[in-house]
Structure 1
Amino acid sequence: MKMLNKIKHQHFGIILLVLFTIACKTDKKQNVQTETEKKENNIIEVITRSMDFQTADTLKSGWNTFAYKNLSGEVHFFIMDKLPSDSIVESDIKDHLLPPFDDGMKYLIEGKADSAMAAFGKIPAWFNEVKRYGGTGLISPGKTAVSSINLEPGKYMMECYVKAINGEWHTSHGMWKFITVVDETTNFSPDEADHTISVSSTDGYTFDTQPKSGINRFKVEFIDQVPHEHFNGHDVNLIKYDASANIDSLVYWMNWMNPTGLRTPTPKGFTFLGGMNNCEAGEIGYFEVDLESGNYLLISETPKADEKGMLKTFVVNDK
């Protein structure tokens, strides 16, 4: 009888071991599938914890989807600047590109417009040949922005030029990174969009559909791209706002040339949820947002965006 019980216990132990092994293999297989799915969708994770971009140094060309997690305490974004030469190195950025921007902004804060323009005039000539291939719109702390952009092979500078509380650029605090895009395509295409936003310097935003609560995918068509009064182009930022928000204060803040523009702290009552950063004329970008019921707006990071038709409000209701 003791022997029979011993055998039963042994068999029971073997069964538990087999079941445990199968479960482990199943979990491992599921994890592998999850990683495979990520690779097939070509999702590139970008994390900011302070003034940094934690992400891959090398990417494939073609369509890439970025999931940008802002784990810091300030609003950020990223834009992909395609450099005109692969020979541009760190010293070209730190010693020649950033100082004129630093000096120019300092003079603007001091109210010395002429000195600011003289400082900006020292920006290296090669910077005028930079092409922009999109990125995310502004994103609040604790939020994740998802965007898909089409990258050509070459050397890029990923950057965030929002300003810190003292008025200094985030780039000057280290928030930039070289990324190499190799001549090997991802073979990935974005899913169809639920809504299309067309943006141009003449007609502003053309956006007629009504987003609903839940996941919404937006396609952004850049009909043209021109430098505005702040020497930059136009983009699309999606923002949720509450009853305490003052939209006029947001319009002012979206112009970095204003002393407190694009500077920490952000205007009260607004939560930044991403969007699509500047792209070249004729280019397309996508972004995805999980919307709750509430009041929202689309706005460009340009001076007087409201007067240019680059501000649209809409309401999201429950399903």
Structure 2
Amino acid sequence: MRNQVKIRLLFLAVFIIGLSETFAQAVAQNAEAIKVTAVYNSSTEQHLFQLEQDTIPMGWTTFRFVNASPAVHFMILEDFPGDRTTEDVEREVGPVFQGAMDLLTEGKTEEGYAKLGDLPAWFSEVVFRGGSGLIMPGAETRFTTYLEPGNYGIECYVKAEDGTFHSMMGMFEDLYVTEQDSGNPEPADPTLDVYTTNEGFNIGGEFKAGKNLVAVHFDEEREGMTGKDVHIVKVEEGTNLEEVATWMDWSQPKGLISGHMGNSPVPTQFLGGTQEGPEGATYYFHIDLEPGKYAMVAEMPANAPAYKVFEVKEEQ
């Protein structure tokens, strides 16, 4: 009898521990997301980010990106080497890219690409740690990434009508990640998996009508400055994905031109996604889809477009 009581108590203890762990994971899984808002200051003609907080603990972190501006935007997380901050980027990197873009816009292609040779050596050590795909004005999205301690930048380098990068107009903010661990678990049970490879995209599973949690695995061997990211776009009658892919190339004179105040040259509706990550990383994004045709498009050179069409079917 005494042994039976001990066994029952043991099972009860195991049950309580398991319940506590499940509860703790549920609490962490639903931890409040870090809100980042894109805004436009018409009086100063600045595109800006507003951060709820600029210092966060390390670990799995979910961001809620709200586009409260009249232009298309994304946000990318840049892991800076050492003690670098956005001040270093604004001083040593931004002017180089803007100078190159100005030359490319003038049709001076050779000089434009040569200008990139002025980038500081430390810039090659910047690691992109995900972020939000492009979203339309008035939209919002969520994504989850893993951040190690260090100094980060949050940037949008979509361009204004005159070719000026939004980051040169104020859309660049510091984010500090401390050594304290958030304790948040990696998101569980994604709806489907997307794999970026040197050849393009592989999809494991299917997008469904309604809410989707998408796991993006970066299996690409990086070549050059840009790796594949994932931007979800609506494919409607007349949508030309070659034109969309060309618009996604920042080095094109009309590439990534956002427009604003209802005058937008954006070639389709952008619904979110995730920015690029290092080989071996996995990041997540949430997306709510209606039945219809869509595509995932990567920000790649126009002469090497990367996109994949998929269909969301009506639920049976």
Shorter-normalised TM-score: what interval? 0.7 to 0.9
- 2:253 paired with 1:289: no
The 3 A distance-change label for structure 1 pair 267 and 211 is farther
**Residue aligning to 2:242:** 248
Deviation at 1:108, TM superposition (A): 0.3
How many residues align? The count is: 278
The normalised TM-score by structure 1 is 0.82
Distance in 2 (alpha carbons) for counterparts of 1:90 and 1:240: 33
- 2:56 paired with 1:59: yes
The answer to whether the Cα contact below 8 Å between 1:105 and 1:116 also exists between their aligned partners in 2 is yes
The normalised TM-score by structure 2 is 0.83
Deviation at 1:211, TM superposition (A): 1.4
- 2:232 paired with 1:238: yes
The answer to whether the Cα contact below 8 Å between 2:144 and 2:283 also exists between their aligned partners in 1 is yes
- 2:214 paired with 1:224: no
1:43 to 15, 28, 33: 33
Please state whether the residue corresponding to 1:49 is helix, strand or coil: strand
Distance in 2 (alpha carbons) for counterparts of 1:275 and 1:110: 32
Q: Deviations over 1:162-209 (max 9, x none)?
A: 1111111111001111110001111112132010001111x3100142
The 3 A distance-change label for structure 1 pair 243 and 169 is same
2:170 to 146, 171, 174: 174
- 2:201 paired with 1:205: yes
Distance in 1 (alpha carbons) for counterparts of 2:109 and 2:255: 15
The answer to whether the Cα contact below 8 Å between 1:42 and 1:64 also exists between their aligned partners in 2 is no
- 2:124 paired with 1:124: no
Distance in 2 (alpha carbons) for counterparts of 1:268 and 1:52: 20
Q: Deviations over 1:243-267 (max 9, x none)?
A: 1322221021111111111112465
More strand by share: 2
The answer to whether the Cα contact below 8 Å between 2:220 and 2:227 also exists between their aligned partners in 1 is no
Q: How does 1:145-184 map to 2 (within 5 A)?
A: 145-184=141-180
Structure (1 or 2) with the larger CA radius of gyration: 1
Give the gaps of 5 or more residues in structure 1: 1-35
2:107 to 102, 111, 128: 111
Please state whether the residue corresponding to 1:234 is helix, strand or coil: coil
CA RMSD, 1 decimal: 2.0
Write the letter of the residue equivalent to 1:280.
Answer: P
Of residues 187-196 and 146-155 in structure 1, the stretch that sits farther from structure 2 once superposed is 187-196
The 3 A distance-change label for structure 1 pair 89 and 314 is closer
Q: Deviations over 1:53-87 (max 9, x none)?
A: 1111101111001110101111111111110011x
The 3 A distance-change label for structure 1 pair 57 and 149 is same
Distance in 1 (alpha carbons) for counterparts of 2:63 and 2:119: 30
